[in-house]
Amino acid sequence: MKKLPKSQIEFTLEIPVEEVELFFDKAAKNISENIEIKGFRKGKAPKDVVQKIVGKQAVFEEASQLAIEKKYQEYIKENQIVVVDYPKITVKKMAESNPVVIDVVVAVYPEVKLPDYKKIAKEQSQKRKKDIDVSDDELNSALEYLLSSRAKETSVNREAKENDIAEVDFEVRLDGVKIDGGSSKNHPVKIGAGKFIPGFEDNIKGMKPKETKKFSLVAPKDYFKKDLAGKKLDFSVTLNNLFEVELPELNDDFAKSLGGFESAEALKKNIKEGLLLEKKEKEENEFRNSLLEKIAQEADIDLPDAMVEREIDKIIDEIKMNVEQNGIKFEDYLLTIKKEEKDIRQDVRKQAETRVKIGLVIDEISKKENIKIDDDKITQKANEFLLRYSDVKSAEEAISPERLKAYAKSVLISEEVIKLLEQTD
Tens digit of each residue's pLDDT (9 = 90 or more) over 74-117? 999 999 999 999 999 999 999 988 999 999 999 999 999 999 99
Selection from 92, 100, 89 nearest residue 61 by Cα = 100
Q: What is the pLDDT of residues 157-211, one digit of tens each?
A: 999 999 999 999 999 999 999 998 889 999 999 999 898 999 999 999 999 999 9
Helix ranges, 79-187 (H):
117-127, 136-149
Q: Is the pLDDT of residue 52 over 90?
A: no
382 with 404: CB under 8 angstroms? yes
> Helix, strand, coil % (nearest 5) of the chain?
50, 20, 30
As a whole number, mean pLDDT of residues 361-390 equals 91
The pLDDT of residue 46 is 77
Q: What is the pLDDT of residues 200-239, one digit of tens each?
A: 999 999 999 999 999 999 999 988 788 889 999 999 999 9
The pLDDT of residue 392 is 66
Taking CA atoms, 209 is separated from 78, 155, 169, 191, 229, in Å, by 81, 10, 11, 14, 31
Q: Is the pLDDT of residue 389 over 80?
A: no
What structural domains and CATH numbers belong to the chain? 2-109 (3.30.70.1050), 152-246 (3.10.50.40), 299-422 (1.10.3120.10)
CA distance 305 to 194: 45
Q: What is the pLDDT of residues 75-86, one digit of tens each?
A: 999 999 999 999
Q: Is the pLDDT of residue 292 over 80?
A: yes
Q: What is the pTM of this model?
A: 0.75
**What percent of the chain stands above pLDDT 90?**
74
